[in-house]
Amino acid sequence: MKVIQQMVWDWPLRLFHWLLVLSVVGAYITGELGGSLTELHSLLGALILGLLIFRVLWGFLGTHYVRFVNFFPTPERLTAYFRGDWHGVGHNPLGALSIFALLLVLIALVVTGLFANDDIAFNGPLFHLVDKSSSDSLSGWHGWLVTILLVLVGLHVGAIFYYLLIKKNNLILPMVTGNKLLRSDQIVGSVGSCSIRHLIIAIYIALTIVWVIWSGLITD
């Protein structure tokens, strides 16, 4: 059967992915070190929030394999995967479950961070919207969520190396080049090109929300 190289991950998704990796690593390091790096931790949190908003929007506006509807881990897809009957191209159902879990935990981390405080000099940009006890509680949750994130990241990285070393399937390279080698019966037709109009809309909305939160426009 003929094997064809096809674009699977569009460039906005790939750029999002690597920016998110770098910003999450940076946020973890600055959060652990604290002190003078706390402000940088906050700025990285703003970047992560913008990236997450963009990804949610791009899950509806992006190309075929990027859209949530085409890889959401439904019970039917998960059942087919565990039976060995799933033969899709993009994220497999178990991988998709991992991705959604990571996105949800990251969203929860950012949201709790918006209201958090360190009892010294740092208050989240929305700290003033809640009382101190609520902020302290959310700060605690922020710390617990970091632990959950580390577990999920460990599982995610472990799965990548499992596929690379055991199943001889490199999942990293396609997230760099965007291309996968597919059998002719796997191809869904043209996945479409990235819409510049949709890209501008997603970036504009993400930047606007982040700016409104960090500019202090939201008051009691």
pLDDT at 131: 95
Residues in the chain: 220
Give the whole-number percent of the chain exceeding pLDDT 90: 76
- Domains contained in the chain, CATH given: 3-214 (1.20.950.20)
Nearby residues of 107 by Cβ (< 8 Å), 6 or more positions away: 52
Q: What is the pLDDT of residues 181-208, one digit of tens each?
A: 777 666 665 566 789 999 999 999 999 9
pLDDT tens track for 36-77: 899 999 999 999 999 999 999 999 999 999 999 999 999 999
Class of residue 80 by CB neighbours under 10 A (exposed 0-12, middle 13-18, buried 19+): middle
pTM for this predicted structure = 0.94
